Amino acid sequence: MHIFLHSYLLIKWYIYIGQEIVEYECPRPTSGIHRIVFVLFRQRGRQIVHAPRWRKNFNTKDFAEAYNLGLNKFSKQLH
């Protein structure tokens, strides 16, 4: 399984207020069937978050540990 980061957003209080850290990139038509996963974390305070260096093989667990995000508050998978 290959993991690819399609988008990364920092959302403030409401879904329509926030900052796009990684611009959305849609799946390529030739890449087959996709499983899309939405993961929501609550930050423990204000911090500077940087865009990952690459999208391919993005590791959500490593990212959460690097920014001390703790357990995810919500996740949803779509096929």
Domain spans of the chain? 8-78
Q: What is the CATH topology of the domain spanning 8-78?
A: Phosphatidylethanolamine-binding Protein (3.90.280)
- In this prediction, residue 35 carries a pLDDT of 76
pTM: 0.63
Q: What is the pLDDT of residue 58?
A: 80
Read off the pLDDT of residues 60-77 as tens digits, 9 standing for 90 and up.
888 888 888 877 776 666
pLDDT tens, position by position, 4-48: 767 776 666 666 666 777 777 777 776 677 777 778 777 777 777
pLDDT of residue 28: 72
Residues 13-42 as b/e (b if ≥16 CB within 10 A, e otherwise) read eeeeeeeeeeeeeeeeeeeeeeeeeeeebe
